[in-house]
Structure 1
């Protein structure tokens, strides 16, 4: 069994009885599927797996998904803010040292001041918007919706790789960046989070793409664990 994600749809309400035996090797029952899911480690990946492939459960567990997304993003946001505070402090120190106590400003002080200024600007450029945590729900909703609707990459057919143009071997698919699925355009993502395209590109694209990459990776790991458990039960 290459991918058992779709089996999770059987856990939702249905008027069709899927777990009736057909003779020969026994079919997987809903209990088997639920047990396999229960063996997937708790965390963001499992919450995304349920939200994407078992929507009824995903809606009931929205609080757990919210907590998992916060646990993913908050440490990185805090790390960025700490790095920015350090850069600001270093710049302030360099500025204070120039002409200390009315003395002359030296070339060495000017050089250090400029280096600190460059580090501050570079650090600031890498930081996500100040209101990232306030917008986290909007971002997460748009990303989950993108993950649930985007199909396989047409260029690599979901394989994530392609033949190198120079014929030297296999490389990561350029069209999907190795994700294996089609990507929404920047305009589509901007609309999904209620921002104009220029604001998305300037402020939100880095955090959106970071979250999407990490959420896809977490769901992929959880799906791998689920598939393994399903295979054991089959």
Structure 2
């Protein structure tokens, strides 16, 4: 069977038909593909699968994609806010303990130092304050990277190589078949310079990429399973 992502692309508007096999005998028709898509679990993965490979269909479902991406990031943003606030409270408690008894003891000084370090780590791990307003740009850049990955030149995107009589994982891409896009390209994709991207936006982008790519892969696997039953 062809790559299910390529099959899904047949649903885009086109003038040439690709749904007829040799001798005019239908193999998988566009109707089969559309029907199989119904067996993909609704959610972020399905929305991404359509956004990457069936943009004509995804154009009708922009609200659903938006809602799914927001649902993905909201828990993480809330977690970061809670961690930062709790770290601030810990620093305040440590300072209050010192002020309560006059001169700080060695243990109180160490606790304040530890609490301050936790606060600094929590602040460093927080995403930029403008993350939500930048989310449409970030999400579209991630979707483009998923749809147009950098295929590994060593294994040509297969994730493995033939060594004699053995099939081994490609060392260059660690068996993934793709190599990461450069920071420079990612920065350009979200309209930032490379330095700002590295300092401010890299963590957000990579967090989104990992989770959105995983969701899309799971949806593609579900589509492949549904198509195999229809074949």
Question: 8 Å contact 1:84–1:120 — kept in the other structure?
Answer: yes
Q: CA deviation at 1:16?
A: 3.0
Say whether the 8 Å CA contact 2:150–2:181 is kept in structure 1. no
Say whether the 8 Å CA contact 2:154–2:170 is kept in structure 1. yes
Q: Contact 1:74–1:133 (CA<8 Å) still a contact in 2?
A: no
Structure 1 residues 121-130 or 217-226, which shifts more?
A: 121-130
How much does 1:15 deviate?
2.5
| Matching residue of 1:166 | none
Are 1:111 and 2:104 counterparts? no
1:161/1:26 CA distance change after superposition, 3 Å: closer
Q: Deviations over 1:137-189 (max 9, x none)?
A: 110011111222224222343344679xxxxx999766546543232211111
Distance 1:203 1:78 in 2: 18
Please state how far the C-alpha of 1:45 moved relative to its aligned partner. Answer: 0.7
Q: Is the 8 A contact 2:157 2:177 kept in 1?
A: yes
Root-mean-square deviation (CA, aligned residues, Å) is 2.5
- Give the aligned partner of residue 32 of structure 2: 32
Deviations 1:180-212 (A, max 9, x none): 323221111111111111110011001101101
Q: d(CA) in 2 for partners of 1:170 and 1:7?
A: 27
After alignment, is 38-47 or 153-162 more displaced? 153-162
| 1:201 match: secondary structure | helix
For 1:191 and 1:176, the matched residues in 2 are separated by 23
Q: Offset of 1:218 from its aligned partner? A: 0.5
Query: 189, 192, 196: which is aligned to 2:189?
Result: 192
Equivalent-residue separation in structure 1 for 2:95 and 2:169 (angstroms): 46
* TM-score, length basis structure 1: 0.87
Q: Relative to 1, partners in 2 of residues 1:23 and 1:151: Cα closer, same or farther, differing over 3 Å?
A: same
Normalising by structure 2, report the TM-score.
Answer: 0.88
Counterpart residue number, 2:44: 44
CA separation of 1:18 and 1:159: change in aligned 2, threshold 3 A: closer
**Structure 1 residue runs without a partner (length 5+):** 164-168
2-structure distance, mates of 1:151, 1:130: 30
CA 1:59/1:36 → structure 2, altered by over 3 Å: closer, same or farther?
same
| Structure 2: 5+ residue stretches without partners | none
Which residue number corresponds to residue 63 of structure 2?
63
Preserved contact between residue 2 and residue 227 of structure 1 (Cα < 8 Å): no
